[in-house]
Amino acid sequence: MAIATIHAGICGFTTTVNAQTVGDAVKLTITSECEAICKLGDHLTMLNPYQEITFRRAVPQTYQEAMKYCTHAACPVPVGIIKVIEVESGLALPADVNIQLRK
C-alpha cells in the first residue's frame, strides 16, 4: 500500500490518500478535511494506473472528476492522487513533491 498525505496550502486542509493494488487497478481511499475533495474521493475508487499517468490517451479520470468537484484549479490534491497511484503501481519511486512559494 502507498499513502500520500497532502497539505494543500493556504486553505489549511489535509488529505490522505491510501492506494492499494487490486489486480490491474488501484483502489483508492481518500479522506480529507475539504468537502470538495471528499466528494471527489467518492468518485475515485478504482482506477487504471496506465490511464492516470498520461495525457496522450485521454484526460486522466482523476482530472475529469476534479473538474467537477474541486473548485480551485491550483489545488495540489489531484496531482498527489496521481503520484500515489504511480508509486503503488510501480510506475514511479516514492519521492516527496514540494512547491515553495515566496513573494
For the stretch 28-37, contacts whose Cβ atoms lie closer than 8 Å and that sit 24 or more positions apart, written own/partner, are 28/81, 28/84, 28/85, 30/81, 32/77, 34/8, 34/77, 36/69, 36/70, 36/71, 37/13, 37/69, 37/70, 37/75, 37/77
pTM, 2 dp? 0.95
Instruction: Return the pLDDT at 57.
Output: 85
Residue ranges of the domains in the chain? 2-88
| pLDDT tens figures, 39-94 | 999 999 999 999 999 999 899 999 999 999 998 999 999 999 999 999 999 999 99
What value does the mean pLDDT take over residues 20-39? 98
| Domain 2-88 -> CATH class | alpha beta
